[in-house]
Structure 1
Amino acid sequence: MADAPLFPVTVVGSWPRSTELIRALRRKEAGEITYAEFSAMADAEVLACIRAQEEAGVDIISDGEQRRDNFYSFAVDKLTGMQLMKVSELLDYSTDRARMEEVLRALDVPSFAIKSPIVVDRIGKKQGLALDELAFMREHTDRQIKVPLPGPYMLTRSSWFEGLSDKAYPSPDDLAKDVVEILREEIIALRDQGCDFVQLDEPTLSQVVFGEETTETFMCAALPNRRDPTDELEMAVRLMNETLEGIEGIKTGVHICRGNWSKKEEVLLTGNYGPMLPYLVQMNIDQLVLECATPRAGEMEVFKEYSNEKEIGLGVVNPRTDDIEPAGQIVARVKELLQYFDADKIYLNPDCGFGTFAERNVNTHEMAAKKMQVITEAAEILRAEYA
C-alpha cells in the first residue's frame, strides 16, 4: 500500500443509494434488466460517491457499495449456487417462526426489505466478487482504494440455512471450505489488480458476544443453531486466518460493529470490545476497524492490554445521526486511544457505512459528505500536533 498521511481518513464502505438506483436494483432482481445493464446505470452513482469522498478529503475511498443490495447479499450476483431471499421468506423455514418474528420486531428489522444470500447448491464463481468495482474505481480516481468484502465467517453463517442449504453442504463448516477458497482467490486478484486495502466485514461477531438474549439475528441464518459463543469466535479466527494465509502486499482489516440497520440506537447491541479482543488480535490481519463513536461501544481502556498489536480503524462519527460531530470531539476521542496506540497505528473512519442496506439508508448523501469532512478536519488538527 502506498504511503498514507498520519491519521489516514477512510470509510467503512457503504454510501447512501438514490431512489433511482434502488429502483434499478429492484428491476435487476426481478430479471427485467441484466447485472451488466444495472451496473452501467450505477456508474454515475459511483462517480458521485467517489467525488464526494475526494472533496471531503478522504484518503482511502470506496465505491460506496453502490452496485450492491447490501454488504453481503451481492454475492448472489457473483456466485453460483445462491439464491437471494427476503428475511420474510426465511420465516417459512424457521424452526421457531413466532420467536423469529418477535426478534425482528424488537430489532426494528423490515423483514420484507432486507435480503440474505442463501446457499441452495454447491457454490462457485461466476466472476470476481468485486473486481469490476475495483476496475471502475481505478479508472476514475487516483486515491487509495478500499474494497469491502463479507468476511468468511459472515458469508458462511449468513448463507447456510437448515432445510435449504444442507442438501449441498451438510453443515456450515462444510460450506466454509469453499467460502475460504473463493475469498482467498478474490483477495489475491484484488491485490494484483491494484487494490490497496481489503476490509473483511464480520459484524455478526458482536451478536455472538453481546446477543445471547436474542440468539437469532436476521443477518446470520444459522445462528439459531449456533454453538457456544467461544466456539463461534474460534471458528471466525480460524476461517479468517485460513483465508489470509500467506497473502502479502495488500493491507487487510476486519470490521466489527453493533448493527447498522436502524437509527434507533436502543435496538442495537451494547458492550465494550473486551470479550472480543483476545480473538480479534489472533487474526492475521493488519487493522481492526471498530465502532467507537457511540457510548454503546464502551470505554477505550479495554485496549490497554493490546497496545500497538494491530492498527485501529477508529470509528469517530455515528453514521446514523443527523448531528455533525465537532472536530474537537473527534480529536479528544483519538487522544484517548493515543494512550495505547502510536499515532501511525490509528486510522479514522465512521462507525459503519452510511447505507448498509439499500432500502434502509441510515443517512443522506449530503450528511455523509459533511461527516467525512469533519473527520478530515480533525485529522488535520491531529497531524499538525503529532507529525
Structure 2
Amino acid sequence: MKAVVIGAGKTGYALAVHLLKEKYEVVVYSRSRQKADFFSNNKLEVTGILAGRYRVKTTSNLTAAVANADIVFVATWANAHNDVLKNIASLLSSQQSIIFLNGNWGALEAISYLGQDSIGKLHLEIGETSGMPYVAEFKDRNHLEIKQIKELVTLSVFNLEKRASEKVVTLFKKLYTSIEVARNIIATSLTSLNPIIHVPAVIFNLARIERQDNFSILVDGLTPKVANFIMKIDSERRALAKELGIPYNTIVAQLSEQWGREFPDLPTLFSTLGTYKNLQAPKSFNSRFIVEDLPFGIDPLVKLGSELDVGVRNAELLAAFTHSVLEEQEKADLSFISKKNIDLVLNQP
C-alpha cells in the first residue's frame, strides 16, 4: 500500500516514519524543493519512540505523489486545508482515501469542497482523526524526537459504504495500540481536544505570553477558574453532541482514555503527564494555539450552535473576546458548517 503525507512538519514526518516502520511505502510532500531534496538525500535521525535512521522519500511534485497513493494523509494546520483541497481536487483518482490528521473539521470541509457527486463517482473515502496521534519535535534539521504516540486514536470516515474501508482500518490497527471508529466525521471534530484547552489557556494568560514569560501553559497557566471555564465549554459541546445524536464523553474522560490512565480532573492530568506538564507557553499569539484552534476549533462551535439553535454562550464569549483582543486573527470561512452538510453527514447516502 502506498501513502502520501501532505505536510512536511514534525507530525508529517512522525507519521511517515511510523508508516516506514510498518513497511508501508510512503512519500512526504513539501512545497519546498530545497527541503524535498534535503530529506531525499539525507537520512532522518529519530530518537525517542521509533528510534532509528530513516530514508524518508520527500518530493515537491504533488501531482506524482497523489497520483500514486492509495491513502492521502493531510498533516497540515487546519487553516491550510482549503489550499490543500484546491491543489489535490483534480489529482484524485478512484478508491483513494483522504485522511486529515487532527481533523478540525477538515473532512466536512473536504466533502463540501469536493461535492457529493465527485466523492460518489470516484468512490472516495474522506476521514479524519479527532486528535493528533503524535507528540514530536524537531531537535535539528534532520533530527526528530517522537515523544509520545497516543494509546487510543479515534477515526471517522465518510463514503458510500457508510463504514471505514478495510485498508484504512488495517493500517490504523497496525500503527496504534487501540483505535475507535466514531459515528461520523462531525463527531471527531466536535470532540477534538486541543481547541477548548489551548484557546482559554492562552487568553487567560495574555499578559504573560505578551511578555514572553517562560512558564508551563497547562500547569502554571491553568488555575481552577480556567479549568472550570474549559469544563463549561465542554458542557456546551456535550449539548451540541446530544442535538446531533452523537455520544460524548467529558474532556477528562477522553484524555484519560487516550493516554491509558484515569484522572479525576484536568489539573491533575496536566500536572501528571509529562507531555502536558512540560508544555511551554507560546512566545507569541502566532502559534497553533490561536492561529488554528480559534478559527477551526472555537469558532466552529459558535457556528454549529447557530445552525442547530443550541446555546453555546461561553464559546461565544471566548470567541468574541479573543477576536477583539487579537484583531490580527481573521475569521475563517466556515460556510461548509451548514445545515445542508450536517444533514448529509448524519444521513450518509
Instruction: Say yes or no: TM over 0.5.
Output: no
Flag the structure with more relative contact order, 1 or 2, with Cα contacts below 8 A and sequence separation at least 6: 1
Given the two structures, how large is their TM-score scaled by the length of structure 2? Answer: 0.28
Given the two structures, how large is their TM-score scaled by the length of structure 1? Answer: 0.26
